[in-house]
Structure 1
Amino acid sequence: MTSSEPLLPGTRRALLHRVATAQSEGRAPSLVAAVQRDGRIAWSGARSCVDGHEPDGDTQFRIGSITKTFTAVLVMRLRDEGLLDLDDPLEKHLPGTGAGQVTVFQLLGHSAGLGAETPAPWWERTPGATRPELADVLGERPLMHPAGHGHHYSNPGYTLLGSLVEKLRGEPWGEVLRREILQPLGMGRTTPQPQAPHAGGWAVHPWADVLLPEPAEDLGLMAPAGQLWSTTTDLLRFAFFLARGDERVLSASSVEEMRAPAAPPEAGDWDGTYGLGLQVVRRKNRTLLGHSGSLPGFLATLWFCVEDDVAAVVLSNATSGPLTGAVAADLLQIVSDAEPRIPEPWRPLPEVDEELLALTGPWYWGTHVYGLQLLVDRGLELRPLRGPGRSARFQACADGTWRGLNGYYAGETLRVVRAADGTVDHLDLGSFAFSREPYDPGVDIPGGVDKGGWRGLAT
């Protein structure tokens, strides 16, 4: 990943102004940010309370719960290798936890009903040795809510997923992470323990401009939930992977699966939900994906937008203060709005498939008119031509049918139904009949078509 052409001067100044305002108003010892566009770092900037000592893209900060996304990728790799199924109960692979009835899918999406935190003392400010066993992490009552009934964020849930990775790989979580994600993606500055140059963690007094150093504990079993240190450069590499996939780590289809909402949002939070190890939020008509993170002394956020192909990272070394999530979203928005993505040139298909071409054009479901379009990848897209309706993309299957990829028809089958002479009679989509004319009398429409045909009011 190399630096792209610089952004326009007005865009760069707006980005710097946002970062400077965040560091000043948030009273942060330091804050570093970077924006990626089209897979390349387009801008980076930093502010510090010590002149001449601003952090840069190689300075490590602790990233807290962004660690969870890495753990989720490791679990998805196990799924893709056939070592587990997302619907498997935890007990099948990791017996004796006391929470074995919850599924891997529920743990990934925080819908397993586990508690948000470990039993006291505060796990983020105490050594991992305080909790040597999973029972010490889960406590006497692991399940606080019915599994699968809703979203309830759980740090101990990701400890269970990390232990699951260790059990199936037969190696420590950190070693599996290094070999399977960090090395292939070239993330050499992402580590479980800090490596110079790195920022120190600070608490800023809420009513006075004075500082208190925060401890940096090794979290032990809780490491898969929040241990990692990283840099803006490394996290932008990770964002690029999460947006597009990388066959060395996880396929594009699997990372797309991670980005899909996995549980209903919490009541009152209709603009935010959770996928499989990824937060999903709506902000000003954009879908942002990524994760926020915090540990005593540090705040971090990574957001990316697939449609705009823009990502932003903000890291700070303060326990509270700068709202890194809002800052990262603002940086992404500044670039996307001021310098929108230039689309690739339109190009025709390399060859014509006459049979597929004959299926394109208008189709009617009852009196609703839809258009069927042939896509570049030889898939199909169905969308309403008038008013609201259900749109969907379809992928060709080996048996001549198409499988729905999104929306209402995700997973549903689209079939071409032919008459006795081989001509197309209609399209069958999950039992719905689509004909070339509204209620075509020559088509096998369920319920039949009135023989009197269409009529006026006086008929």
Structure 2
Amino acid sequence: MPSLSHEAVELLEDLIRYEVEDKAIPSISYALVDRDGLLAQGHIQRHDRRFDMKADTCFRIGSITKTFTSVAIMQLVEKGLVDLDLDVSEYLPGFQPLNPFAGRESGPYGSQISLRKLMSHTAGIVREPKSGHYLDAHRPPLADTVAELATSTLKQDPSAGIMHYSNAGIAVVGMVIERMTRKSYADYITENILKPLGMHDTSAGMAPGIRERLAPADMWTLEGDSPAPVFSLGGSPAGNIFSTTSDMASYAQCLLRGGFAPKGDTIVSPASLREMWTPIGKRPAGHDKALNGYGLCFGVGDMDGWTSVGHGGAVYGYASQMMLLPQAGFGVLIFATLDFANQIASRLAGDGLRIALAERGMGRLPLRTQIPPPISEDQLAKLPGLYRHEASGEVVEVKKKDEKLYLMGDGVPLQIRPVLGDDFVIDGRIYGRGADYPHMHVSFPASGGLVWNDQDWSRVESLAAERVPPEIAPHLGEYGPDFNITYLTYSHGELKCLIEYFCTHKCEPIDALRFRMRGLLYEEEVLELDAVDDTGRRGIRVGPMFLERRRTQAAA
């Protein structure tokens, strides 16, 4: 069996162990493969964790699930059962979302909602469905979710070829699989991908015994960490597979072998993989620049000149990454058990591949992690506070928490650490070395200000109370379920929506009670205030998602 040298495995595990301890991640598990088999795998737990990590310990792979959905669809294409470019209503009669761009198309790709567009996130479908969305712990049947989407309103012009990530769109793709095969999504995936690859510890959905085998994961805020909620997501084709490092290694090996199982059985053809790995459309401004594009449920990027393909996943405490170098014949899986740690998983995936390449004389080994200098007592005392940008009036805060410093900027808590003197770098659970984030450097000049985002910020001692418009004030507060609270606030003349723990979106007015969201996850979704659902509950809508006003806020 092929393997990595002891020194190579030791280097990779040292790099992983540093992140586990430095970022206080419960565990990180990995597998490295080439076309011939497993090169190395392991589990690194934080020093104070004692979960018995076994061969059948499983993880939520999140949106890596989408790649299985793509393989399934391409199997149907190869059998002549579906056409990627026909309107999906050919397979789902009545699926006709309202297209407000009809008659004023902005691109050359036509107005049809096709499988190709859905799988490349260029169909213009909303990010999350009305039910079965990421903030919904009740798992409705896939047919119900798709039936609601059939009459939804597109948020983007499907003729433009612009990528806007949509879990809802992949749910529709899964429904096509069910309709054309007359099997449930889980049964089809199990029979046609999992069983042929010997992935016996993998489940499309939370099968019996999964919960007991699931590696514990944490959610976090600056106030502390807490156990991640565990429930089966709706819209299963977009992100609800549970798997192990060994099973996912078998899957990655199959993809590296051109879609062939170890004994020569074809799971998907090399031609189909080539089509799946061809970028489609354009990526909007602000998207991950490490990716050159997105194909059919696969991201396509570049690592040290090698073309990379794969996908990440993020679901309630689990951050995963699958990265393959098809030309070199190597693949890596990383599973971290901390919410929003995807950038760390991606960084370690790159490190793992570089180690494998170096072992074959095809690249250089990554450097061992350099421990940053400590923050001085003087810096911990003097740097926290409010800083204002004179031209825009925007204010950011440097906050001290547990002897660490955070810059509360761009809607997320950015941990900052010294480089030399008063020069700092962003390096924490969200962004760090190698991150695709343009404003990594922070400094504090002797004048007492802040330099960040290529701009100067001045220290301010306090802020005058801001007048909230009377039409907005009654709607500020908390919405949604206990396990994932959404917050509406108002600052610097703008309504802000903080959703999925960290992602603050600026909200631009459309009309009296509707706003266009601008931010990391829900870009261009419509936020509706004072919404009422089918049962008379009051709250807000983000796209089609209804989030009820929390009782403590309503009472206030």
Tell me the alpha carbon deviations over residues 126-176 of structure 1, each in whole angstroms, 9 at most, x when there is no partner.
222398342445773234333452211111010000000001011111000
Match of 2:165 in 1: 153
Q: Aligned AA for 2:163?
A: H
Q: What's the CA shift for 1:70?
A: 0.5
Q: 1:54 to 1:266 in 2, by over 3 A?
A: farther
Q: Which residue of 44, 57, 61 corresponds with 2:59? A: 61
CA distance in 1 between counterparts of 2:181 and 2:294 reads 26
- Structure 2 gaps of 5+ residues are 98-110, 364-556
The answer as to 2:194 corresponding to 1:173 is no
The answer to whether the 8 Å contact 2:125/2:166 transfers is yes
Match of 2:500 in 1: none
Tell me the alpha carbon deviations over residues 167-214 of structure 1, each in whole angstroms, 9 at most, x when there is no partner.
101111100010111111111111021524221332134344xx3222
Q: Which residue of 174, 198, 201 corresponds with 2:214? A: 198
Q: 1:296 to 1:139 in 2, by over 3 A?
A: farther
Q: Which residue of 212, 216, 240 corresponds with 2:230? A: 216
Higher relative contact order (CA 8 A, sep 6+): 1
CA distance in 1 between counterparts of 2:133 and 2:296 reads 26
Match of 1:349 in 2: none
CA distance in 1 between counterparts of 2:135 and 2:357 reads 36
- Structure 1 gaps of 5+ residues are 343-459
CA distance in 2 between counterparts of 1:123 and 1:250 reads 30
- The TM-score, its normalising length taken from structure 1, stands at 0.68
Q: Aligned AA for 2:249?
A: L
Q: Aligned AA for 1:259?
A: W
Match of 2:410 in 1: none
Q: Which residue of 12, 34, 39 corresponds with 1:37? A: 34
Return 324-333 or 145-154, whichever deviates more.
145-154
Match of 2:347 in 1: 326
CA distance in 1 between counterparts of 2:158 and 2:341 reads 35
CA distance in 1 between counterparts of 2:194 and 2:114 reads 27
SS at match of 1:123: coil
Q: Which residue of 355, 358, 361 corresponds with 1:340? A: 361
> Which structure has greater strand proportion?
2
Match of 1:184 in 2: 196
SS at match of 2:140: helix
The answer to whether the 8 Å contact 1:288/1:303 transfers is yes
CA distance in 2 between counterparts of 1:167 and 1:121 reads 19
Q: 1:306 to 1:121 in 2, by over 3 A?
A: closer
The answer to whether the 8 Å contact 1:28/1:318 transfers is yes
Q: What's the CA shift for 1:290?
A: 1.0
Q: Indicate the RMSD between aligned Cα atoms, in angstroms.
A: 2.4
Q: What's the CA shift for 1:318?
A: 1.6
Q: Aligned AA for 1:202?
A: D
Match of 1:118 in 2: 129
Q: 1:52 to 1:312 in 2, by over 3 A?
A: same
Q: 1:141 to 1:51 in 2, by over 3 A?
A: closer
The answer to whether the 8 Å contact 2:112/2:158 transfers is no
Q: 1:125 to 1:296 in 2, by over 3 A?
A: farther
- The TM-score, its normalising length taken from structure 2, stands at 0.57
What are the residue-to-residue correspondences of 1:235-246 with 2, within 5 Å?
235-243=248-256, 244-246=258-260
> Which structure has greater helix proportion?
1
The answer to whether the 8 Å contact 1:61/1:315 transfers is yes
Tell me the alpha carbon deviations over residues 35-94 of structure 1, each in whole angstroms, 9 at most, x when there is no partner.
113432111222213455463543100011011000111111111101111111101111
The answer to whether the 8 Å contact 1:32/1:55 transfers is no
CA distance in 2 between counterparts of 1:38 and 1:340 reads 17
Q: Which residue of 81, 84, 88 corresponds with 1:83? A: 81
The answer as to 2:138 corresponding to 1:140 is no
CA distance in 2 between counterparts of 1:327 and 1:258 reads 25
CA distance in 1 between counterparts of 2:317 and 2:221 reads 12
What are the residue-to-residue correspondences of 1:363-442 with 2, within 5 Å?
none
The answer to whether the 8 Å contact 2:132/2:233 transfers is no
Q: 1:15 to 1:138 in 2, by over 3 A?
A: farther
Tell me the alpha carbon deviations over residues 196-254 of structure 1, each in whole angstroms, 9 at most, x when there is no partner.
4221332134344xx3222222223x000011101111111111222221243211221
Q: Aligned AA for 2:313?
A: G
Q: 1:35 to 1:121 in 2, by over 3 A?
A: closer
Tell me the alpha carbon deviations over residues 390-427 of structure 1, each in whole angstroms, 9 at most, x when there is no partner.
xxxxxxxxxxxxxxxxxxxxxxxxxxxxxxxxxxxxxx
The answer to whether the 8 Å contact 1:158/1:225 transfers is yes
CA distance in 2 between counterparts of 1:255 and 1:26 reads 36
Q: What's the CA shift for 1:291?
A: 0.8
Q: Aligned AA for 1:248?
A: T
Q: Which has the larger radius of gyration?
A: 1
Q: Which residue of 267, 275, 278 corresponds with 1:260? A: 278
CA distance in 1 between counterparts of 2:136 and 2:41 reads 31
Match of 2:241 in 1: 228
CA distance in 2 between counterparts of 1:331 and 1:137 reads 40
